[in-house]
């Protein structure tokens, strides 16, 4: 299974019926493709819609209905238009149940850095600082390493997105949970060993006696694709 598909499938298992969810651009967006059948999850796009749906076929889009990346999207029956202030009021006020974001770095404190690489990449934080500071549950979905270097560090070296501790980190190797005591290894990917995760991680991990294997299989993907 593709690493990114694995990550998206595992994140999809965190979704609960009735939840309001914001998916970041890129890998997080693909989580929507792997939701369990029958799960009633509502998507918010911070540019102004609650109840976002996949884009309809070309020729049936509206240029005034887009996602936060500027791409055409659809709306479920019973969607709601909101302005930027209300959109972030929902995010900051704890009305958003889950946000899934990509990451450049995460550390032992559960701090996320994902908005800038000073001197190289200065896109701006957009809604990321609000999402991480305000959502009820923050899930970081990212690859474990970049260019051979661990992205899970003792301390972030890049400017932080927020000092709010994220709730879960999902990579192609492991599921990690930041706690008061540090980063706990909750799950390993199918076919991966605890030792491999430790070796691929700069941060010190807390290893419980039993580490589960991610309950993700190709079968899930098939079911969701029906």
Q: Does 45 engage in binding with other proteins (CB under 8 A)? A: yes
Pairing of strands 105-107, 42-45: unpaired
Q: Which stretch binds other proteins (CB under 8 A): 77-85, 140-148, 189-197, 201-209?
A: 77-85
Is 108 an annotated catalytic residue?
no
Asked whether the beta carbons of 43 and 32 are under 8 A apart, the reply is yes
Quick note: the x/- pattern for other proteins over 95-114, rule CB under 8 A, is x-------------------
Q: Which of 16, 36, 39, 40 binds other proteins (CB under 8 A)?
A: 40
Site for other proteins in 17-36 (CB under 8 A): 17-18, 20
Q: Which stretch binds other proteins (CB under 8 A): 65-73, 138-146, 174-182, 192-200?
A: 65-73
What radius of gyration do the chain's Cα atoms show? 17
Backbone angles phi, psi at 196, to 5 degrees: -65, -40
The sign of the torsion formed by the CA atoms of 123, 126, 128, 133 equals positive
Asked whether the beta carbons of 132 and 112 are under 8 A apart, the reply is yes
Identify which of 146, 139, 136 has the alpha carbon closest to the alpha carbon of residue 105.
146
Least separation in angstroms between residue 203's CB and other proteins is 19
Identify which of 203, 200, 206 has the alpha carbon closest to the alpha carbon of residue 145.
200
Q: Which of 133, 143, 150, 196 binds other proteins (CB under 8 A)?
A: 133
Q: Which stretch binds other proteins (CB under 8 A): 72-80, 177-185, 196-204, 212-220?
A: 72-80
Site for other proteins in 179-218 (CB under 8 A): none
Pairing of strands 152-153, 20-23: unpaired
CA angle 74, 75, 80 (to 5 degrees): 140
Strand residue runs (E) in the chain: 20-23, 42-45, 49-53, 74-81, 98-101, 105-107, 112-113, 137-141, 145-146, 149-150, 152-153, 168-170, 174-179, 182-188, 205-206, 212-213
Task: State the catalytic residue, choosing from 46, 108, 172, 187.
Answer: 46
Give whichever of 47 and 171 is closer to other proteins, judged by the CB atom.
47
Q: Which of 16, 39, 54, 62 binds other proteins (CB under 8 A)?
A: 62
Q: Which of 60, 85, 181, 226 binds other proteins (CB under 8 A)?
A: 85
Using CB under 8 A as the criterion, which residues of the chain lie in contact with other proteins when the complex forms? 17-18, 20, 40, 42, 44-51, 62-66, 68-70, 75, 77-95, 122-130, 133-134, 159-164
Positions annotated as catalytic residues are 46
């Amino acid at each position: 299974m593709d690493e990114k598909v694995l990550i998206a499938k595992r994140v999809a298992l965190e979704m609960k019926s009735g939840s309001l969810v914001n998916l970041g651009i890129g890998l997080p967006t693909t989580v929507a493709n792997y939701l369990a059948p029958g799960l009633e999850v509502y998507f918010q796009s911070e540019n102004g819609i609650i109840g976002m749906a996949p884009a309809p076929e070309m020729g049936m889009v509206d240029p005034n209905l887009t996602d936060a990346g500027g791409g055409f999207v659809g709306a479920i029956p019973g969607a709601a238009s909101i302005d930027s202030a209300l959109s972030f009021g929902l995010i900051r006020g704890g009305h958003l149940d889950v946000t899934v974001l990509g990451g450049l770095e995460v550390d032992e404190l559960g701090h996320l850095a994902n908005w800038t690489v000073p001197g190289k990449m200065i896109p701006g934080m957009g809604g990321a600082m609000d999402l991480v500071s305000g959502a009820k549950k923050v899930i970081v979905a990212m690859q474990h390493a970049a260019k051979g270097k661990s992205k899970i560090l003792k301390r972030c070296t890049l400017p932080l997105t927020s000092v709010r501790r994220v709730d879960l980190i999902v990579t192609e190797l492991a599921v990690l949970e930041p706690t008061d005591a540090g980063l706990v290894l909750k799950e390993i990917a199918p076919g991966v060993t605890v030792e491999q995760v430790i070796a691929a991680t700069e941060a010190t991990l807390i290893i419980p006696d039993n580490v589960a294997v991610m309950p993700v299989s190709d079968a899930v993907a098939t079911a969701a694709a029906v």
